Structure formats: structure tokens, C-alpha cells
Amino acid sequence: MKKFISMLLAIIVAVGAFSITFVSVSADEPPLLISPAPTVQRVFTDVEPGTALETALVKLKDAGIINGYEDGSFQPDGGLSRAEFCKMINILFGYTELATTGFPDVPADVWYHDHVLIAKKQGYIQGFEDGTFRGNEKITREQVCVIIDRINNCYKLYDVVINDEVSDWSRESVIKVISNGLMPLEEGGTFRAKQIITRAEFSYVFVPFLDARAEIEADKEQNAGTGTGTGTGTGTGTGTGTGNGSTTKPGSSTTKPGTGTVIPGGAVKPGTGTTNPPAGGDDNKDDEGGTGTTTPPEGGNDGEDDPTDPPEGGNDGEDDPTDPPAGGNDGEDDPTDP
């Protein structure tokens, strides 16, 4: 019996020693570190990362067209006032020249005064029949179509059948905008022309123009420069250079490539060394937003400013320092904000 107890105590001691050793070894090992999940940086707190909307908003934000609200949101389902839209159009197309006269309801001390005068000068805003501008009124989808058409002189690429109501004054512009892929028809061939355009919807409209501007600027950089050439010759006397760069000298004759003309596409053509635009020419109209048209459609008022459409409500607050939204003005459009 004593022998059995002795053996049992020996086993207990051995197990205890083994456990102590095991714990000791475990304590000497570095702790296992579990890395936290990476934090996804949001452009705006209410816009899902990795979506098409976020991609569009990043481009607009980088271009200085939008900034969002002070609380970090964008409010994609909110509306856009006529004054806000003018400011964004002017930034997008680089318009800066002011008209000499404005509108009676746009006093000099409102934040959007200059933007409205710029819009009037460019001809894409003409005002309502009563002479007002109504800057705080929300802008509708068909009004946006008329403005885009005026700025870009859009062509109708194909016939479009719209199955819901569109105002007569805007129908032609709406069809042009749809056929150019700037705004889509929705399910059942509807367009919701008389509804206000949301902040998300106008973002998609603006992006193609930003992309086009970036392409034009890239082409200019790529095609800028001159071609050069060198030549050697012997003989004395004077020479007369011809259009192809050849030089005639008494005693001998030498052909000199001279300077070259850079033609888009990479070809170098002997000549003066000036830069030629592509066939058909790019007069930078696209870069500047086009010439626009200032003549309203037959029937008088262009409808973009249809006086029969009552305001949809006040300014969304983003741009009107006197009427901030819940949570505060987004700061982007208030010139008094730092």
C-alpha cells in the first residue's frame, strides 16, 4: 500500500512539473497578435464605398465641384437648387465672365449673385417670364436637360419614345440628352421629367464632361512639341528653302529636313514646326463647354424656367448660408466659411 501511494505521489509530482514547465514555456512565447480588420475610408459617410456613385463623387470632389456637408455626408437623395446648379456648371466648364445685368430677385449680397450673372452671360439661364431667377427653387430633370443642351448644342442621335409626361418646351432637349447617353430612360420608358433631380443623379450627368475634359487635356499634352531635323552640306553661296525643307546651294546640293509639324497620331510632317489640330480641328469648344444657344424654342419661354412650375421648396441649405440644413451648411458653397 505504501508503495502504491509513493508511486501515485510520484506521478502527481511529475504531472505537476510537466504542467509548470508547459506553462512556463507558453509564457515565454510571444503572444499571438490578431490584426484588426482594415478600416474602409469613406468619401462621404452616407455613400457606400466601391459603388459607382462613390467613383463619380470622387471625380467631382477632386475637381472642386462638390465638398459635401459639414457632418461628412453628401445626402444623395436630396435636391439641388437652381443657384447651386449654376455654380457647379460654371466650375465644370470654367465659365467666369459676368453679365452686366442680373435678375431682380438676385441681390448683390447673396452668395450666388456672381454665379447667376455668369450663367446669364453664357446664355444657359434666361429667367422666368416674370423676369425672376428663383435661385432657391429646386431644379427639375427637364430643366437640367435644357441647360445641358444649350451649353453643348447636342444632336439627336436617335429617336426616343418617352412614356410619361414631358413639357413641350423641354421635349426636344430631353430627347437629345437621352440619345447622347447623359441621362437614361427608366423602366417602362419613363423619365420623370418634372421631378427634381437628386444630388446623386446630377453627379452621374457631370462625370462624362469631366472625363471628356481630361481626355482633351491629355491629348494636348501628348501632341504638344515640334519635330526637328539636321542636315549637312558643302558648297558656297546662298540657298532658298522650299516648302519641303530642301535647300539649293551653288556647288552642291543638300537636303535638310528642317523643323517638322507635329500631327496628332505621332506623324511628323516637314514644315514650319507649328502644331496642327486633328482633321476637323478641336477648337476647345468641348473644353469650354461649347458655345451654347441663347434662343428659346418657339413659343417664347424656354421652359427651363417655366413659370407655371411652382418651387419645390427652399434651398437645400448646402449653398445658402442663410438657410442651413439640419446639421449645418456643408461649407462647400458658402463663401463665408473658411
**pLDDT per position as a tens digit, 280-296:** 334 333 333 333 333 44
Buried b (16+ CB within 10 A) or exposed e, 51-62: eebbebbebbbe
pTM score > 0.85 for this model?
no
DSSP symbol at 57? H
Amino acid, res. 13 = V
HSE-CB of 28 using CA atoms within 13 angstroms: 5
Q: State the cell numbers at 109.
A: 449680397
Provide the pLDDT confidence category of residue 313 given band limits of 50, 70 and 90.
very low
Which pLDDT belongs to residue 29? Answer: 57
Query: DSSP character for 138?
Result: B
Confidence of residue 30 (pLDDT cuts 50, 70, 90): low
Say which residues have a Cβ less than 8 Å from residue 245's Cβ, sequence separation at least 6.
229, 255, 256, 257, 258, 270, 271
Distance between CA 147 and CA 183 in Å, rounded?
13
How far is Cα 24 from Cα 42, in angstroms, rounded to an integer?
A: 46
Instruction: Provide the grid cell at 177.
Output: 440628352
Segment among 41-50, 115-124, 154-163, 305-314 with least mean pLDDT: 305-314
Q: How many CB atoms are located within 10 Å of the residue 213 CB?
A: 18
